[in-house]
Structure 1
Amino acid sequence: MLKLFRYLKPYRVAVGLVLVLILLQSLSDLYLPTLMADIVDHGVVTGDTPYIWRIGGFMLLVAALGAACSVGASYWSSRAASGFARDLRSRVFAHVEQFSLQEFDKIGTASLITRTTNDINQLYQVLGIMMRVIVMAPMMCIGGIVMAVSKDAVLSLVLIGIVPLLALFIFLVFRKGGPLFKAMQTKLDRLSLVLREQLTGVRVIRSFNRIPHEQERFAQANGDLTDTAIQVNRIMASMMPVMMLVLNFAGIAIIWYGGIRIDNGHMQVGDLIAFIQYAWQIMFSLVFASMMFVMIPRASASAVRIQEVLTMKPDIRDGESSRPRTATRPSVEFRGVSFRYPGAEMPALTDISFETHPGEVTAIIGGTGSGKSTLINLIPRFYDVEEGQVLIGGSDVRTMTQESLRLQIGLVPQKATLFTGTVAENIRYGNEEASEEELRRAAEIAQASDFIGKMPEGYNAPISQGGANVSGGQKQRLAIARALVRRPAIYLFDDSFSALDLKTDAKLRAALLPETADACVLIVAQRVSTVMEADRILVLHEGRLVGSGTHRELLESSPVYREIAASQLTEEEIA
């Protein structure tokens, strides 16, 4: 947890102010019982009313100063803690943005969300309290003991005997509760994962009538978290009653023994009153410390999880080359590329070699699991090759910065993803500087202008989360328009026409030809009708390239392609 506190550097002035103000507040609180003792011993006992008014007024001034310091400390500690949490969230988010898909797969999306929100919130709460308690608790405890000893050294033996017992009890509770707080955060991850799957997959759950099953999964995850929380709360709930019991017994012992000391003339009534107040200050400083010990285990577990994210090094690093986009359109080449997903026994791709040039359309077809999408994902470096090279314009993609590489690519993913906002904002996601004319042209080529025009607000029509208010085919066409408005040198269409009817598919491909005439186009498709007109068709089977050529060439030379074509086309179409 201490490693994360280095992000407090921008707020060191605020932290310093908090520590100074808490120190002044503690001194004020420690001085008040002495003033009270003076009023009792030299004012009340002797009947000196002016002395009572004078010291009483001074007490009010000291108390007001302490209150002002307390308010100031609360203000600056809140500012520092809030700023720290904001900066840490931004740092975690920025670091996660550099992760390859491999790191996302390793940690999990649900866990990353929990770490960025709940875990950082735990640190925020602890830090806000810690900045105050870290000074006040030791100051009040040590200062209270010193002041109590100054009033009566013999009577202070009661405190000296009790304080170590309370400290030992707090340590035992801390040692028992720490592992449970860590387990709670892990189980919270599991609950977030189940909840996220249920909310995003609600259509599938309802269509297959799996609501009872999902309720059982949620109940199990929720129950595990609840059981651990109850176990933690049982341990922590014992702390306050035990401490209050000890405090009350200590108070009884002080009053009883203090009365004997007064009878024997060894101390005055005012000193006993002050001593009792110091005893309570000492005890409550330990209570405040115990509150920190309750919160620190959970915050420590959260800090470890956050630190794990921040220290995780992305497998994919930027190269040194930062080639800007130029008028020259680069080629795409695979040289002996092999790739295996982390932990997989079998490679997803084996010894893939091909080259496509500007102005060519290269289609990739194959059965499910043949490695089509994997091949496409290697070009923008979502993953890095295990063997071989992927070259853009003759340069290995690993030698280029990710930004310069992806500036040259317009990707339409297999699962079209839209963001909350308007239709225009979603298309401009590909190019923020696109003009209104470029926006409309991209939509027309993508065959999206018709349904956009039917929306009441047109291009300003809202898109809900995940594009839930548009159909699958409409989402795909908006995703294609988003790639087109970018005007990249390389187009990657990853099964991007699957939700389109044959008529729209044909019109879209015809409109794409002149728009992409000087670019490299790679199309992953399941339908033979989508790839028939491609300049080159690559046939994948179990991660290997088993055929390359035109539609006619492959019908004669590739049994795999012929089998796929026979399953989709009539004999007349094949002939």
Structure 2
Amino acid sequence: MARSAAAGRPNQRSMNFKGSSKRLIAQFKPERVTVFAMLLVGVPSVALSVLGPKILGEATDLIFAGLVGRQFPDGATREQVIADMRAKGEDGVGVLSGMDFTPGKGIDSGAVGSVVLLALGVFLLAGLLMAVATRLSNRAINQTVFRMRGEVQAKLSRLPLSYFDTRQRGEVLSRATNDLDNINQVLQQTMGQLINSLFTIVGVLGMMFWISPLLALVALITVPLSAVVAMRVGKRSQPLFAQQWKSTGKLNGHIEEMYTGHSLVKAFGREEASALAFAEHNEALYRAGFKAQFNSGLMQPLMFFVSNLNYVLVAVVGGLRVASGALSIGEVQAFIQYSRQISQPLTQVASMANMVQSGVASAERIFELLDAEELSPEPGSSAGSAGLKASGSAGLKGSVSFENVSFRYDSDRPLIEDLSLTVAPGQTVAIVGPTGAGKTTLVNLLMRFYELTGGRITVDGVDISQMPREELRADIGMVLQDTWLFGGTIADNIAYGSARSVTRHEIEEAARAAHADRFIRTLPDGYDTILDDEGAGVSAGEKQLITIARAFISHPVILVLDEATSSVDTRTEALIQKAMAQLAHGRTSFVVAHRLSTIRDADTILVMEHGSIVEQGTHEKLLAAGGAYARLYKAQFEQVAAAAD
């Protein structure tokens, strides 16, 4: 499914229940052996359960026949007793004509006991087989959801940054967590029961037609009514469940944003506004959930009414059939049990409709994520990538060339047009310009975070679009303005920059190069200090030093620093500049800078405006030219002077 403008709001339309249901069922294809084994065990289990009432009906007939038989004198035959009663015009002849009794003989305890033991054995074996079927069902479900989680995780790694740029992180996380959990829960609660119910309906119908085709037809009168109820309620509930999970995603997105930025929320006094927004999202979720649950909840009482209607019809017609001698009391008893037995799975299937609709709504959200447009396919074993692999990082020189590069986030809004630039190996290139000029976009294109609209970028003469992204990025070290640390030790966070296993000595060397070693050793546990995902316990500048050390340990051929020193003090910045000079020796470096004083020694300074390079040269030459760079430098100098005053 190609991504469109509506991709960010997938649930504003009605849910494609049929298509999503089929696709969800298709997810069980790798578990077909387990599912087949479950069916192989489940069928005899249901068959035995269905056979139970018929056996108990025979026990009822034996007991009733004993009670009737002992009321008549011994020595006469059944036929003689019935003929005598008919001649005298006594009541109950029709009932006795459908009963196999022996005059003068009471209840045969041995026969009744044998039938009851047989029934108990049948129900026990049915229960054991059902337990095995349930275990197989749970295995198939857990394996399937396990595989779906893996697919979602792999998909997230293949999605372009543009996908996340247009969506709340919390909403994406809601799909990867809440929706998958809901699918798992729904499948656990409905799959085995649904299959068991369907088999039960088929088996019970067979027994009902075997006992009495007429009563079976009477019992089936209410089935079309049940189907109409299920279809009408289900049709109304489907879009409501879709809206419920959409509202869940919005609420999670808001909570994630407010939790991540809670310090800013407090700093700007936006607690009340945040609480009001939460209340609005919470109210929307409440309304959507209430409507969905209420509408789908109507299913069970309506089906219960239909079931009782069925019971009344069977009881009346069955009583008439017993009175006429066409059926025995035990057969009618068994039939009434079957009537209840078929009503129960029908009611269960109907009551599961709300859970099934909820699960399919979540499945559709997962499938929309899985169908989202991915990054362009990685190249095969082309000549360019083969040459890169052959040379490896050790042979990579770091020559970078932008050739008539064009890029736009939106197709109708150009950002970079026909940009050309050549950077020699080992050069340091500083990129400056006003906000929105395209500075960060330029380095993002080099990293292949976004694909070009036109032109090409080469590294050592090889088009980067022909290089596997993983190999390209393995040779580029990047430090962003926004620091990112994960929950773990400081040593683990630094080692994260290397794809290979690194020693503690290498970690400490990288920290010393980034001038982070000193403050790390002042911490209670040093390099083993545990950080949370927000880096609590260290300052913003110290977090930046850790991320710079992470870049150092990767030993990059090309270095990208995007406002890397914006969060550190002047003294630390000076230390980092020295370390950067050492690190940049023999490496190609791209430095996106806001403070122009930090890039005076760059080999080339690029001044960007509106996606184009308007000036380039050294610091001295650009100042002498009196152009855009000189204006920027003068403006910053005046700001510093004003701050000093």
TM-score (norm 2): 0.85
Pairwise CA distance, 1:11: 2.0
SS of the residue corresponding to residue 84 of structure 1 reads helix
- Greater shift, 125-134 or 436-445, is seen at 125-134
CA offsets 1:498-533 (integer angstroms, 9 cap, x no match): 011122111111122223211111111100111011
**Is 1:371 aligned to residue 438 of structure 2?**
yes
Pairwise CA distance, 1:417: 0.7
Partner of 1:237: 297
Contact in 2 for aligned 1:19/1:132 (Cα 8 Å): no
SS of the residue corresponding to residue 582 of structure 2 reads helix
Partner of 1:112: 172
* Mapping for residues 157-236 of structure 1, pairs under 5 Å: 157-236=217-296
CA offsets 1:450-494 (integer angstroms, 9 cap, x no match): 110111111111111132332111111111110110001000000
Partner of residue 458 from structure 1, selected from 523, 526, 529: 526
**Is 1:337 aligned to residue 427 of structure 2?**
no
Partner of 1:249: 309
- Greater shift, 132-141 or 74-83, is seen at 132-141
CA 1:230 to 1:557, structure 2 compared with 1: closer, same or farther past 3 Å?
A: same
Pairwise CA distance, 1:129: 4.3
Pairwise CA distance, 1:259: 2.2
SS of the residue corresponding to residue 27 of structure 2 reads helix
Partner of 1:524: 592
SS of the residue corresponding to residue 418 of structure 2 reads strand
Partner of 1:309: 369
Partner of 1:125: 185
CA offsets 1:220-277 (integer angstroms, 9 cap, x no match): 1111111111111221221111211222232233223322222222211111110111
Pairwise CA distance, 1:106: 4.0
Partner of residue 293 from structure 1, selected from 342, 353, 358: 353
Q: Aligned letter for 2:250?
A: R
- Greater shift, 303-312 or 200-209, is seen at 303-312
**Is 1:353 aligned to residue 420 of structure 2?**
yes
**Is 1:382 aligned to residue 449 of structure 2?**
yes
Pairwise CA distance, 1:56: 1.0
**Is 1:78 aligned to residue 146 of structure 2?**
no
Distance in 1, Cα, partners of 2:306 & 2:347: 11
Partner of 1:561: 629
Distance in 2, Cα, partners of 1:349 & 1:447: 36
SS of the residue corresponding to residue 28 of structure 2 reads helix
Contact in 1 for aligned 2:296/2:353 (Cα 8 Å): no
Distance in 1, Cα, partners of 2:460 & 2:546: 29
Distance in 2, Cα, partners of 1:308 & 1:233: 24
Pairwise CA distance, 1:136: 2.1
Count residues in correspondence: 572
* Mapping for residues 388-467 of structure 1, pairs under 5 Å: 388-431=455-498, 432-467=500-535
Distance in 1, Cα, partners of 2:393 & 2:283: 58
Distance in 1, Cα, partners of 2:509 & 2:544: 16
CA 1:255 to 1:6, structure 2 compared with 1: closer, same or farther past 3 Å?
A: closer
CA offsets 1:340-365 (integer angstroms, 9 cap, x no match): 1135x532223322222222211111
SS of the residue corresponding to residue 385 of structure 1 reads coil
Partner of residue 284 from structure 1, selected from 344, 349, 352: 344
CA 1:570 to 1:264, structure 2 compared with 1: closer, same or farther past 3 Å?
A: closer
Distance in 2, Cα, partners of 1:475 & 1:179: 46
SS of the residue corresponding to residue 465 of structure 1 reads coil
Contact in 2 for aligned 1:22/1:132 (Cα 8 Å): no
Pairwise CA distance, 1:534: 0.9
Identical aligned residues as a percent: 31
SS of the residue corresponding to residue 156 of structure 1 reads helix
- Greater shift, 286-295 or 433-442, is seen at 286-295
Pairwise CA distance, 1:181: 1.2
Q: Aligned letter for 2:611?
A: G
Contact in 2 for aligned 1:356/1:362 (Cα 8 Å): yes
Pairwise CA distance, 1:570: 6.8
- Greater shift, 251-260 or 22-31, is seen at 251-260
**Is 1:28 aligned to residue 48 of structure 2?**
yes
Distance in 1, Cα, partners of 2:628 & 2:264: 33
CA 1:232 to 1:508, structure 2 compared with 1: closer, same or farther past 3 Å?
A: same
SS of the residue corresponding to residue 546 of structure 1 reads strand
Q: Aligned letter for 1:277?
A: Q
Distance in 2, Cα, partners of 1:501 & 1:139: 73
Partner of 2:92: none
- Greater shift, 310-319 or 210-219, is seen at 310-319
Distance in 2, Cα, partners of 1:236 & 1:414: 50
CA offsets 1:102-121 (integer angstroms, 9 cap, x no match): 12234543332122122222
**Is 1:13 aligned to residue 27 of structure 2?**
no
* Residue segments in structure 2 that go unaligned for 5+ positions in a row: 1-19, 67-106
Contact in 2 for aligned 1:155/1:258 (Cα 8 Å): yes
Distance in 2, Cα, partners of 1:558 & 1:382: 35
Distance in 2, Cα, partners of 1:114 & 1:572: 46
SS of the residue corresponding to residue 449 of structure 2 reads coil
SS of the residue corresponding to residue 498 of structure 1 reads coil
Partner of 2:322: 262
CA offsets 1:348-391 (integer angstroms, 9 cap, x no match): 22332222222221111111111111111011100112122211
Q: Aligned letter for 1:217?
A: A
Structure of higher CA gyration radius? 2
Partner of residue 152 from structure 2, selected from 63, 82, 92: 92
CA offsets 1:126-154 (integer angstroms, 9 cap, x no match): 33345424432232222212212222232
SS of the residue corresponding to residue 374 of structure 2 reads coil
Pairwise CA distance, 1:36: 0.5
CA RMSD of aligned residues (A): 1.9
- Greater shift, 130-139 or 258-267, is seen at 130-139
- Greater shift, 552-561 or 453-462, is seen at 552-561
Q: Aligned letter for 1:423?
A: I
Distance in 2, Cα, partners of 1:515 & 1:201: 34
Distance in 1, Cα, partners of 2:222 & 2:394: 81
Pairwise CA distance, 1:571: 12
Distance in 2, Cα, partners of 1:507 & 1:106: 38
Q: Aligned letter for 1:426?
A: N
The ranges of structure 1 where at least 4 consecutive aligned residues each deviate by more than 4 angstroms after the TM superposition are: 570-573
- Greater shift, 4-13 or 516-525, is seen at 4-13
Contact in 2 for aligned 1:555/1:561 (Cα 8 Å): yes
CA 1:254 to 1:565, structure 2 compared with 1: closer, same or farther past 3 Å?
A: same
SS of the residue corresponding to residue 154 of structure 1 reads helix
Distance in 1, Cα, partners of 2:54 & 2:306: 24
Q: Aligned letter for 2:428?
A: V
Contact in 2 for aligned 1:316/1:381 (Cα 8 Å): no
Distance in 2, Cα, partners of 1:141 & 1:294: 20
* Mapping for residues 115-154 of structure 1, pairs under 5 Å: 115-154=175-214
- Greater shift, 7-16 or 265-274, is seen at 7-16
CA 1:9 to 1:139, structure 2 compared with 1: closer, same or farther past 3 Å?
A: closer
Q: Aligned letter for 2:225?
A: L
